Amino acid sequence: MQVGYPDILADLTNALIAAIQNKEPVLNNLIIGCKAVETLGYFRASAALPIIRSYLGDKDAYTVENAVWSIGEIGTRDEYLLEEVTQLLEKPHLKLSDNHSNPSQVGIQTSIRDNL
């Protein structure tokens, strides 16, 4: 028997989803959005997939990487979503110059592999 907050994970998930729906370009919102997307992946919050998906088009490569990682953690068989993730490999803002390994591309490739 749980005492106190039996639905704490559900409450936290709902609060995080509400937080990331505010995409007003203010620094605090950008930081909260990025970290909330990541946290929802840790929670494996499948209800958050639609809002996390919307972060695949973010201007910030780190936020996109967090969205991809979260989608991989949550898991999906949605072919359209997996195709969106695959197309991110061609995005210039996710590529590093020179011959350095790109953590964003590694994360995207891992997420795709794990969901196929």
Is the pLDDT assigned to residue 11 strictly greater than 90? Answer: no
What are the pLDDT digits (tens) for 55-80?
A: 898 888 888 888 998 998 998 889 89
CA distances from 37 to 4, 48, 66, 90 (A): 26, 9, 6, 22
pLDDT at res. 94? 61
Q: Terminal CA-to-CA distance of the chain, rounded, Å?
A: 38
Hey, what domains does the chain have and what are their CATH numbers?
Answer: 8-115 (1.25.10)
pTM of the model: 0.70
More confident residue, 11 or 38: 38
pLDDT at res. 89? 75
Mean per-residue pLDDT for 49-53? 92
Half-sphere exposure of 1 (CA within 13 A, CB side): 1
**Biggest distance spanned by C-alpha atoms of the chain:** 56
